[in-house]
Structure 1
Amino acid sequence: MANGQQKAQQNLEAFEVWKATQTDDDLKQIVFRGQLNRIEVAKGIGCGKSALNQNPALKNALKELENELRDRGVLPDLTDFAKENADNPNVYDNSANRKLLDSKRLSSLEAENIELKAKIKELEKRLERFGELSETLSEIGLMPR
């Protein structure tokens, strides 16, 4: 069984063989969002997609291939934003889902609060009206004390 370094070297060699067998038309078929589709590249090499990110030599070889393809016009040029942030991956915001749930809950609670305030005003008006009626009946003497 091969250790990690040997497996990394095997993956790099498999990438070089795969790269040599691909034409520009073949590579155009697996372009996704301005770069080569990592899943398709991994399938072609016969390794996992994670190897493309975790193996530095393989990662650099793939980056060099993409740069060559950009120079030849197979891949579109990188935008200025992509060039500036090439080495800065997006930070995962694990609180985004919680914020969304909190926002929905807040919205429903505010709606319920408005409904309850309206109901309270209606009941206060009724109570005021019945209070006056009770007072009038009491003065007339029709109500038992």
Structure 2
Amino acid sequence: MANGQEKARQNLTSFQSWVATQTDDDFTQIVHRGQLNRGEVAKAIGIGKSALRQNPAIKEALEALEQCLRDRGVLPPLTDIAQSRRAEPKPYDASVNKQTMETRRLSALEQENIELKARVATLEGKLRRYGELSEVLTEFGVAPDA
């Protein structure tokens, strides 16, 4: 079994072999949001997406490839904002998880509310019908058992 460093070198070699076999048309088919789709790249190479992010050599080679593709016009150029954000890490937003939970809860409550309104309408219809039946029985002098 290969250790981590050997596996990293094998993955880099696989990446480089894959890049050598691709044409500009092949790359344009896997463009997503102005960059190469990481999932499609990993699938084509036969490695995990995590290797594209965690292996520094592959990460650097992928960035160089994307820059080369931008220079050739295959990928759109980076905006100034995107270039400035590339170096800095994404800030962690703890409220995102809370917002997601609240959105799910709100959706479930809205669904329950709709179901309960439908049930209330059904029960009100039955109550109206039984109220009329009670009136008819009272008119005939038959008192319903309460």
Same fold (TM over 0.5): yes
Q: Which amino acid aligns with 2:66?
A: E
Distance in 2 (CA, whole Å) between partners of 1:43 and 1:98 is 33
Q: Which runs of 5+ in 1 are unaligned?
A: 106-145
Q: Equivalent residue of 2:74, what SS?
A: coil
Distance in 2 (CA, whole Å) between partners of 1:7 and 1:98 is 38
Alignment of 1:46-57 (within 5 A): 46-57=46-57
Q: Which amino acid aligns with 1:50?
A: S
User: Which whole-Å deviations, capped at 9, do the CAs of 1:99-127 have from their partners, x for residues lacking one?
Assistant: 5739x99xxxxxxxxxxxxxxxxxxxxxx
Partner of 1:18: 18
Partner of 2:6: 6
Over 3 Å counting, the alpha-carbon distance change for 1:45 and 1:99 in structure 2 is: closer
Q: Which amino acid aligns with 1:17?
A: S
Partner of 2:37: 37
Following TM superposition, by how much is the alpha carbon of 1:92 offset from its aligned partner in structure 2, in angstroms?
2.8
TM-score by length of 2: 0.66
Partner of 1:121: none
Partner of 1:66: 66
Q: Which runs of 5+ in 2 are unaligned?
A: 107-146
Distance in 2 (CA, whole Å) between partners of 1:16 and 1:98 is 41
Over 3 Å counting, the alpha-carbon distance change for 1:26 and 1:94 in structure 2 is: same
User: Which whole-Å deviations, capped at 9, do the CAs of 1:67-99 have from their partners, x for residues lacking one?
Assistant: 000000000000000000101232231223435
Partner of 1:116: none
Q: Equivalent residue of 1:85, what SS?
A: helix
Distance in 1 (CA, whole Å) between partners of 2:33 and 2:10 is 28
Distance in 2 (CA, whole Å) between partners of 1:23 and 1:76 is 17
Q: Equivalent residue of 1:47, what SS?
A: coil
CA RMSD of aligned residues (A): 1.9
Which segment drifts farther, 84-93 or 49-58? 84-93
Q: Equivalent residue of 1:86, what SS?
A: helix
TM-score by length of 1: 0.67
Distance in 2 (CA, whole Å) between partners of 1:16 and 1:96 is 37
Q: Which amino acid aligns with 1:34?
A: G
Q: Which amino acid aligns with 2:16?
A: E
Partner of 1:108: none
Q: Equivalent residue of 2:89, what SS?
A: coil
